[in-house]
Structure 1
Amino acid sequence: MAREVEEMGAGLQEVRPGPIRGDRPPEPAEIVCLTVDKVYDFCFEEVTLTRNVPVREVPSGTQVQGSLHPERAQTRIVGEAVQGQDGLTTVTVAITLPATLRMGDQPPRTVHFVHLRTLQLHAPPGTQVGAEVHGTCFCHPVDLDGDGLAEEICCAASLCVVYEVTARVKVLLPSFGYCTPTPAREAPGPLLPEYPGSDG
């Protein structure tokens, strides 16, 4: 962790988070064993998914709002992971992302976007493959026969999918002590302009 060192009384040093200052960092106080999530692979991709939803009795000019729920996305591995000779693993990942459609005075509807992708990841045995999804959704009604009523809602979701391969491990790390809060620093107030002749 980056740190800032300040001199204290009796030759002691206080170590704070921040950039390293000076030529020599302080000596660690101890070596600690921590349980952490080690990241083995970390990558992303941008994708666009489409979904046509059948509807009835929806005027073709109705405003449709689509809201994604990335916090409820589900990720699962499809089939068996295949270990390669180059240290990479071929993995097929399926992501199910729910979205809510709101169409005028009709009750909200929940639809699901499904993304299936086969990737090569550094994922040795014992690791977990996860995904985090961010994105936006746009929807509009489609009148196929021109009768003024939409037969389906066409939705497009533009997504950024971040894949992460992790494993819970125990590591030894040098420690500089425990973090303690310091008094907050008040920002200086704005400088008032000086006008000619203001002193008399």
Structure 2
Amino acid sequence: MITSHAIRRAALGAATASAVVLLAACGGEKHTGAHGAPAASVTTGAHNAQDVTFAQGMIPHHQQALEMARLASGHASSAAVKALAARIEKAQDPEIRAMTGWLKSWGEEPPMAGMDHSRHDGMAGMSGMMSADDMTALEKSTGATFDKKFLTLMIAHHQGAVEMANTEKAKGRDGRATRMADDVIAAQSAEIKQMKGLLAEK
């Protein structure tokens, strides 16, 4: 005969097992996505149109900054300018790869690979983007002339990136994109301050 005590023990065991399963399920929902982002930020529907605009605009913006930075090793005379250019390249190349991955995961088209964005008419009006004439003049300059021109153009370029990042922070939804916007604002604002100091010495 099954006693009432045994029945109560069986019921208690079942309730405990259910609680363990429930806690495990809840705990499983708290995993993080890429760059430590909450899972919700990497699932379908977690981004909005502003996130797409940010990534599609910032990729060619960064690519032009890389094009400018890569000229410094052979054209600049200032060690500080060369070091700054190397730091820009090191920071922005991985960000381009990250944003390209986001766009693909969202089912959106990344900017065309291999496009010369600095010369592309559709990009010239983007905040901080250099014109084809600006880029040609930078390529043709060397020494102290290059240093001054590079700093002047890159300050304007960074200011445009900060403006774009502020818009993303205000209107974006995806956690990875808004955190990158924070990084852009912090890093490029500091570099703007540094470049203004270097320019004042010229």
* TM-score of the aligned structures, taking structure 1 as reference length: 0.24
Bigger Cα Rg: 1
Which structure's residues are more often strand, by fraction? 1
Tell which has more relative contact order, 1 or 2 (C-alpha 8 A, sep 6+). 1
